[in-house]
Structure 1
């Protein structure tokens, strides 16, 4: 279907790229009021937001020059939504959607307006990112901060502060007071000391993303001009994966949009809340409905999973929400045999061999590729990979641990980084004979980075010639994949030189501080070199870089938002789920997330040599209640 640049009458608008939307989804797409959308697994949350963006942009309900702001929890979710909108809208329309993570949004605000903060809370412009953990907070509270003034409390009072709650409740638990805490408790005094030492007392300012979020909220609270500029810019706000929203993020949205004409759509699933350990609110949907008069709208269809898997999912869902309504599967079953089973193995080695043989047979029987499967683990993916990888390699299926690191960057994160994605796009264009699709992707991505309007035909023509020349030069300079790490770094630098390092850093706030950009670039070079080892040509090297023909191994948390024909969960035992008793609700939600990645089949594996299954008897009980059988594998 041709994408329209002209305006469409609201009554004439139809969903784009899909046959139809379920009734409630269509109500959300065309709504003029604030909505909290409860959308279960496979309900099409990204598609819903993409269709709503298309409707608003193409009908003029989001009138130019105002824009739509879409903020997500994960970078890949933000990227996927922007890509989906580009597929459904003319470039002039899609260009008015700003899709980013909460962290990127908050950091962009601090980078632009941070020097207008009150002096007490003003970071140095060249601040660096930090990622403090429990060990760092323990060292601060018990060693670095010293003894509080007698009028405030004692060292014993300081030691009584829980490490687990220091950041969540004291450091960033509530909006920052403009003048500081007037009559602080011991905990508030310690939090203020952490803030002041991080902001002012070292050679550089060091901030975590949660601290940046609080500074962003404060600067908009005290700077009405900046706040009004955002309100005038955005007519609509989308919030994806809303169940994982933190109080910091929610307070920022409240400060900007509460009481304005902005229309907000918050989409998520309260049964998939697996980020409470990362300060997610207990019930953000109820807070949103109360503050913004949100109209609760459930979606009922599941477009991902087969009817049998949806039936089992509902048993798990009821354990998390007794009021959960069973979804309607819109996907036919395509496999023979059980859709879900627990396989018991006598040893991890036999488990690895049998799983590799199973995947190989399924690929052949159903004409599937390696990335139609995923191996999920609870934690310590590297330990599982050590046993699984040789068995899969022997079966002719590369296995890739996407929870592993390349340099200082997790592989799965590297592949989602803008610098890495642009590197692959440009190299595909330069080194591939039939590069039509890569040409279009490069022109759109790099044109947007350079600020070239889709309507500016003269500028587009000049840029097209530059892109042609760069692709020709790269191909001539680097006809073969890199044979050394130094060669790989040269290639990466050549590509980024054309892309424009300063442009990338300016557009992506995370690249501006703390050396993250250099870490990503170095990781890309290391990964490019490793992917080129043994590759016959550039196509094979880039296929390996992206993992197109390798079965992925990842953790539950990293599988969120993804989907596969078959999910194999390795290690359903007490050892992997050692913390289950500490928070059964979040652990069960994680289990639910893992299960719901599957379209057709879920396999759980158990091996007694790794641990018992008494502590997680609840999970086995849920599977038994759903009729899932345990099979002994010889």
Structure 2
């Protein structure tokens, strides 16, 4: 029998699943006011939010039917928080947490209320999500300049930088209720671009920043919609708050500023590496001023060893001279230097040495390939080929997480809800000892029920019977992985049909518009087909799909939020950091993020044949100041 969740008195509530919390973290968990939480790398930001959700739900401070909204920037971060809450709370409580990305949240609002927008700004109901392209912007600017009767205005429009046009002229400020006033050449160009994207095709084409601006406008002009959402959520969590854009902040401000909803913003100014993507300056200061939020700092580091934390603090002081000294809560597990710069004369020697080092570490210390990550500043493709061959010679598999699979990168595909649900179902049906996959698939079927979550024993037995029948048939039809793309396409289509295409579209906003579900389906099929190459065992195929036995190669931006026993940063040179002098502060923050992915060891490599290290000498100076040695590898 499934029992309803019981309520715990606030004074009797204790942290769930952990022995204790840092005093400041517990203060935030129990807070009844807006909080601004500055938490360095490894401080347990996700755990803090999971415990706060458990406290609010289990004590009834967030009473049913009100909910908690948790907003993150990456889908895997949103899913991680949701999973943690699910393991700490009764399903009836955990189901009242909506953990989503900013983009998904904004899209869901537009889908529900978009047709209430003023005529000037109303997109078609079947709008498509696109990414801003240079070709479209160039076309709009050229046609706009030709239509201008004023020669100076036309010249100014032709001179607009297409790379920054959307950021600086299209979505740089809140939209007016009526038409854009044509009082400047910037507004003329922006108006034509909006009209091209809203009315220039059979259906509207919108970027996520444009969706954010439209949603802020509809909330500002539609009190009913704004109040409905404000009343839905008693509490809001915002993770990685240092990367919030003015568009996203304006949306949050408009939605919750005049409500009783309590907001908690968590992040780290020293890890702001998204200014190129419009991250706002001093986001915590603005939030504290607008909402009267009280600032709290977390000082523990649960990720990195004491020596790594000492070095991290020296880097942190270069970004914030008032940065407090964090305290490591982790033991040192590796002998010798935990950080060094390795100098090589050629990429070939670099690849051989790194492969041999990792192979030796795996063998000597019972480590796994996924304990290691190869990080690069950008363009991982330019490193993948030579490194992969050297790693293969050492018996290691290196996977470029930035490699494209159809419309997605591998790392992006693995965070797609459709991909996760399909792989769980395939594991449950086609591999042995897949109890966790079976349980997760059953939860997925409950989630996709047309009537919503139903945890009754009768419904659980019904869904378990359906899953058992489907899994048995699937195992009979596909005892081995399909060898043809046609058969693989049919398999994935059958799996998605069982889950329910219409329900996937209803539950996950990204699949509700256009043909994105079909695009992801193609990517899943293509990647699974490649993973099945020369394999006959389903377990090996699915492991290859997920990259379980592979060492990941990725850019620093893609590594954000992840952690590894050992990180190896390849290419600490001027060529990789070609724009270092343009924004030294952000480059240092990027370097800081790379360093802080490591739990036990961080290695940086330099190859003289690849470039100089004159421009980025300040980064080397920081390492030298921290006592990090440089080793010539011959």
What secondary structure is seen at the aligned counterpart in 2 of 1:543? Answer: helix
CA displacement at 1:223 relative to structure 2: 1.1
Residue 414 of structure 1 is matched in structure 2 by 413
> How far apart are the structure 2 equivalents of 1:417 and 1:147?
43
CA deviation vs aligned residue, 1:288-324 (integer Å, no higher than 9, x gap): 0011101111100000000110011011111111110
What secondary structure is seen at the aligned counterpart in 1 of 2:203? Answer: coil
Residue 474 of structure 2 is matched in structure 1 by 474
CA deviation vs aligned residue, 1:165-213 (integer Å, no higher than 9, x gap): 4222321111100112335211011111110121013222110000001
> How far apart are the structure 1 equivalents of 2:408 and 2:238?
27
CA displacement at 1:479 relative to structure 2: 1.1
Question: Are 1:382 and 2:350 an aligned pair?
Answer: no
- Contact 1:124–1:204 at 8 Å: present in 2 too? yes
> How far apart are the structure 2 equivalents of 1:608 and 1:27?
51
1:208-223 matches, within 5 Å, as 208-223=207-222
Residue 310 of structure 2 is matched in structure 1 by 311
- Contact 1:198–1:207 at 8 Å: present in 2 too? yes
CA displacement at 1:360 relative to structure 2: 0.7
Higher mean displacement: 357-366 or 237-246: 357-366
CA displacement at 1:364 relative to structure 2: 1.5
- Contact 2:169–2:190 at 8 Å: present in 1 too? yes
- Contact 2:4–2:92 at 8 Å: present in 1 too? no
Residue 448 of structure 1 is matched in structure 2 by 447
CA displacement at 1:150 relative to structure 2: 4.7
Residue 259 of structure 2 is matched in structure 1 by 260
> How far apart are the structure 2 equivalents of 1:462 and 1:347?
62
Higher mean displacement: 527-536 or 280-289: 527-536
1:614-633 matches, within 5 Å, as 614-633=614-633
Residue 49 of structure 1 is matched in structure 2 by 49
CA displacement at 1:253 relative to structure 2: 0.4
What secondary structure is seen at the aligned counterpart in 1 of 2:342? Answer: strand
CA displacement at 1:4 relative to structure 2: 8.6
CA deviation vs aligned residue, 1:67-90 (integer Å, no higher than 9, x gap): 000011111111111111111111
- Contact 1:198–1:205 at 8 Å: present in 2 too? yes
Residue 64 of structure 2 is matched in structure 1 by 64
1:544-555 matches, within 5 Å, as 544-555=544-555
Residue 492 of structure 1 is matched in structure 2 by 492
> How far apart are the structure 2 equivalents of 1:153 and 1:60?
63
Residue 24 of structure 1 is matched in structure 2 by 24
Q: How many residues align?
A: 632
CA deviation vs aligned residue, 1:32-82 (integer Å, no higher than 9, x gap): 000010010000111100010011000101011000000111111111111
> How far apart are the structure 1 equivalents of 2:143 and 2:287?
39
Residue 117 of structure 1 is matched in structure 2 by 117
- Contact 2:220–2:226 at 8 Å: present in 1 too? yes
What secondary structure is seen at the aligned counterpart in 1 of 2:340? Answer: strand
CA deviation vs aligned residue, 1:203-242 (integer Å, no higher than 9, x gap): 2211000000111111111111111110111000000110
> How far apart are the structure 1 equivalents of 2:143 and 2:329?
58
Question: Are 1:82 and 2:82 an aligned pair?
Answer: yes
Question: Are 1:515 and 2:515 an aligned pair?
Answer: yes
Residue 572 of structure 2 is matched in structure 1 by 572
What secondary structure is seen at the aligned counterpart in 2 of 1:631? Answer: strand
1:338-417 matches, within 5 Å, as 338-417=337-416
> How far apart are the structure 1 equivalents of 2:609 and 2:516?
40
CA displacement at 1:115 relative to structure 2: 0.9
Question: Are 1:330 and 2:362 an aligned pair?
Answer: no
CA displacement at 1:462 relative to structure 2: 1.4
Residue 599 of structure 1 is matched in structure 2 by 599
- Contact 1:304–1:599 at 8 Å: present in 2 too? yes
> How far apart are the structure 1 equivalents of 2:4 and 2:397?
43
> How far apart are the structure 1 equivalents of 2:532 and 2:148?
61
> How far apart are the structure 1 equivalents of 2:255 and 2:279?
20
CA displacement at 1:3 relative to structure 2: 11
> How far apart are the structure 2 equivalents of 1:183 and 1:493?
50
CA displacement at 1:482 relative to structure 2: 1.8
Question: Are 1:581 and 2:584 an aligned pair?
Answer: no
CA displacement at 1:522 relative to structure 2: 0.5
CA deviation vs aligned residue, 1:261-310 (integer Å, no higher than 9, x gap): 10100000000011110111011111100111011111000000001100
What secondary structure is seen at the aligned counterpart in 2 of 1:146? Answer: helix
> How far apart are the structure 2 equivalents of 1:433 and 1:42?
35
- Contact 1:452–1:459 at 8 Å: present in 2 too? no
Residue 609 of structure 1 is matched in structure 2 by 609
> How far apart are the structure 1 equivalents of 2:375 and 2:572?
10
TM-score (norm 1): 0.97
> How far apart are the structure 1 equivalents of 2:625 and 2:590?
18
1:247-286 matches, within 5 Å, as 247-286=246-285
CA displacement at 1:468 relative to structure 2: 1.1
What secondary structure is seen at the aligned counterpart in 2 of 1:216? Answer: helix
Question: Are 1:144 and 2:134 an aligned pair?
Answer: no
CA displacement at 1:425 relative to structure 2: 0.5
Residue 39 of structure 2 is matched in structure 1 by 39
- Contact 1:425–1:438 at 8 Å: present in 2 too? yes
> How far apart are the structure 1 equivalents of 2:461 and 2:542?
28
Residue 246 of structure 1 is matched in structure 2 by 245
CA displacement at 1:506 relative to structure 2: 1.7
- Contact 2:38–2:296 at 8 Å: present in 1 too? yes
1:524-543 matches, within 5 Å, as 524-543=524-543
CA deviation vs aligned residue, 1:530-579 (integer Å, no higher than 9, x gap): 11112241111111110111000000000000000000000101111111
CA displacement at 1:139 relative to structure 2: 4.0
> How far apart are the structure 1 equivalents of 2:468 and 2:24?
47
CA displacement at 1:429 relative to structure 2: 0.6
> How far apart are the structure 1 equivalents of 2:156 and 2:433?
69
> How far apart are the structure 1 equivalents of 2:127 and 2:180?
24
- Contact 1:4–1:89 at 8 Å: present in 2 too? no
> How far apart are the structure 2 equivalents of 1:377 and 1:507?
36
What secondary structure is seen at the aligned counterpart in 2 of 1:267? Answer: strand
- Contact 2:140–2:192 at 8 Å: present in 1 too? no
Residue 177 of structure 1 is matched in structure 2 by 176
> How far apart are the structure 2 equivalents of 1:147 and 1:624?
57
